Structure 1
Amino acid sequence: MIPIRTDYRMRIRPWMNFALIGANALIFLNGWHIPSPVIDPFMLQPTAPELTQFFTSMFLHADFQHLAGNMLFLWVFGNALNDRLGHVGYLLFYLGGGVIAGLGYLLLSPIAPVLGASGAISAVTGAYLVLFPRTHVTVLFWFIIITTFQVSSLIFLGLQVAWNFIMSYKAIAISPLGGVAYVAHSSGYLFGIVVSAGLLLTRLLPRDGFDLLYLVRQGFRRRQYRAAVRSGPSPFAPNRLRRGEPDGPRRLRTRAVNVAGRTDTESAQELQLRRDIAIATQRRDFAAAANLYTRIVQLNTEIVLPRQQQLDIANHLMSAERHLEAAEAYERFRRHFASYKYIADIELMLGMIYGRYLQRYAEAAELLEHASKGLTDARKRQLAETELQAARKKLTDPSTT
């Protein structure tokens, strides 16, 4: 089975991933591959490794099949990660994954000199598994007939990771396996999974309702609910409660409260509201989506929708002159999507709301000053400076109109 594409929608051109694929291909086409002896000093040597070899080895390949397989996986899964991390972040992540894969190989299974980008690409696919588990992978399959089908990236990549971990265990504990550096692959997967999960947990990478951590949390909540139901009294059993003991439904309701202090009923309502909001925004019924949004923030004060949904609803609230709700929606967007390309425009809009409509001049001045430094459009920058002057004037002389 060969992956050929995913259904992830790109926001930017993944130029860094294109550059990495081009660099690998160019080096190979220049003759830097087995059996050329010129590549020996640049492969990662287990007996006498050099620092530079950790980097040079990940751009070398044994033959065309080795190169084609690696570059296909890098194309299918690397573009989305480049889009999510940005160009510099993605390059650092890619190189870091390759280095850690090499270290893992040297420490656990140093059989022979190693080369190839598969350690770094394993890091990329490990991060893809964490960040985009709900995307679908189109897979090319042939057995008597040639066909394609879609499978969840969680299943496709989960099986890849599991297989490599099993083969790595065999290489370490049973007998060395020549030809494929499974331990390097597994080390790359671990790097990608741990680093991407860490970025989400520390909020260095904005969270959404589609990453693996969210799925794990929802699964934990469902297990809590099932455990609460099993531990509650049976509706068919005789009532054996003693006098003064709370009745069955009351006990069940108490136990159904999860660790975060929210009931499973509230979690189910939140999930249904998320679905309804997604449907409303797809239909471009932003008025309905905005009304649903005001209900979901009452259930969960920390809720943040996917980026485009959050922005569309904030814009609608602003156009509907619901200024306080619009400001709150823009603030959530600004906090959770700080790396957004046009974040300065969001700060401009938020500063104008605070200054013009909510009389929160100190916050308006801070936002507008920051926005004016990031705006590239001359008219928007002039607008930000005008609004900033008005906010500062109000701060120094509140009686001005």
Structure 2
Amino acid sequence: MAVVSLSIVHTFSWRKRSTFALILLSVILSVFVFCEFLIYYIVIIQCQWPQLKSQSSTASKQTPDSILKAMFLSDTHLLGQVNGHWLDKLRREWQMERAFQTALWLLQPEIVFILGDAFDEGKWSSSEAWSDDVRRFQKMFRHSADTELIVIVGNHDIGFHYEMTAFKLGRFLKVFNFTSEKLITRKGINFVTVNSIALEGDGCMICKEAEAKLTELSHRLNCSLQDQSQYQKRCSGVDIPPASAPILLQHYPLYRESDSKCTGDDSAPPDKKNDLFREKYDVLSREASQKLLWWFHPRLILSGHTHSACEVLHNRRTPEISIPSFSWRNRNNPSFIMGSITSADFSLYKCFLPFEITVITVYCIAGTVLVVLILARFQPHISPVHFVQRLITKYKAL
């Protein structure tokens, strides 16, 4: 009889332990799924494609088929073999992959532009390291045939001007089919992609070729906007694109003194806003900036590089938007830009990604709850309330 009673007690105790273990496992899995999967859907599903300006004279004439849904992001900085710790790489690449794939599934953009610095160590990586970086990039930013991905070159992809070589530029062009100073036309909308590292103005071979292509593109676009009856001879034999003012896409921002006038939660930190920018390093030179404005008279400029957001109005009429880094390694609050664009109008919306501090807080709270549950189960003489109070006191002391 005693043996039977002990067996029943042991079975009951085993079932209690199993139930408790299942509860702990359920909590752990729930928190993990929320922080690593669901949070991206919860945040990004709140983003919507912006409506075109109602006051536009052409907006009412636009049909859904004439509106291009474009997504813009920048500075993904995939870590390489030298500076990238394996755990840091694993974490950051997982975050960017989940954010990008979730955005594609929920928002279904027609075209995605990455405005430079896709890689962190392209400026010095060996052929083997470069191939590994490309493989990981293509896995993270995979997309269906319904979405077009265009990657623009940045200084970390091929190096600053003094590090840039034809070999580094060539391998980037080969992988991404990116041709410097290229005109991309979709639905009558003209995008001009610029290799801003080549706008040094020192007469280097790559720089001369870049400027020659830009002047040729400028001529083509100007011909498209002119009265052909008056400029027939000048534009004879020119491959004329649709008559639409272009959108400039580049890595370096146009020249500005600093980020002192930039506003918003994702602008530069207060202690960095007044730091003066260096020409040809932080921003384009004054000369190169004026050339681009004069050549193209763009209706919009999108850039990256600074890792912080900024909106600037050049010559009192041309807006430029600097897009923050897409990587949580560079920001607590990454974001991307959604654009509804036609040949005559555009409207932009900034979609923020989950804050890193939010994920960390959830993990910390869940960890505390687990510790309290374990103490309550195996150390009943220790008060969970007292334990939590001690944790709060220690946290405040920090």
TM-score normalised by L of structure 2? 0.26
Q: Which has the higher contact order (CA 8 A, sep 6+)?
A: 2
Higher strand share: 2
TM-score by length of 1: 0.26
Give the helix-richer structure, 1 or 2.
Answer: 1
